[in-house]
Structure 1
């Protein structure tokens, strides 16, 4: 009976299993922390939009995005040799 418990294969298997459980627990804790961080970011973004009804930052961002899209369209036209 004692020889079976001291078998090197059984000891390695048990140690590997314990190591796998520890790593899985650490990864799960990290994943939960990352999800909590993202939840807080979403709450902060939602609270910021709710506090200010006339949020100038959002409108400005949309205008800048439209401007960047227009610039990209013009650069692609130049690269393909099309006259605007």
Structure 2
């Protein structure tokens, strides 16, 4: 390869690496800003798990049904 071709290739690689690094840095800064906003608004509590809440609610309903049956004098 000619020295000029090699120089152009290396310069292109360095420019591409610089552009990719700059884009990654901007993305990282945006993500950090998003997390700062979430923390300042108090949104750091995780949402309750949906499936375990439904199971617990169904269990409580079953217990209430059994207690009502016992209070009414009905054998299950």
Q: Give the alignment's TM-score, normalised by structure 1.
A: 0.50
Task: Output the CA distance in 1 between the equivalents of 2:38 and 2:32.
Answer: 10
Q: Name structure 2 gaps, 5 residues minimum.
A: 49-76
Give the match's secondary structure for 2:7. Answer: helix
RMSD: 1.8
**What's the offset of the Cα at 1:51?**
1.1
Q: Choose between structure 1 and 2 for higher RCO, CA contacts under 8 A separated by at least 6 residues.
A: 2
Larger Rg: 2
Task: Output the CA distance in 1 between the equivalents of 2:45 and 2:16.
Answer: 42
Aligned to 1:44: 34
Number of residues of Structure 1 aligned to a counterpart in Structure 2: 47
Task: Output the CA distance in 1 between the equivalents of 2:45 and 2:9.
Answer: 52
Task: Output the CA distance in 2 between the equivalents of 1:24 and 1:41.
Answer: 26
Q: Give the alignment's TM-score, normalised by structure 2.
A: 0.55
Q: List, as ranges, runs of 4+ consecutive aligned residues in structure 1 with deviation greater than 4 Å.
A: none
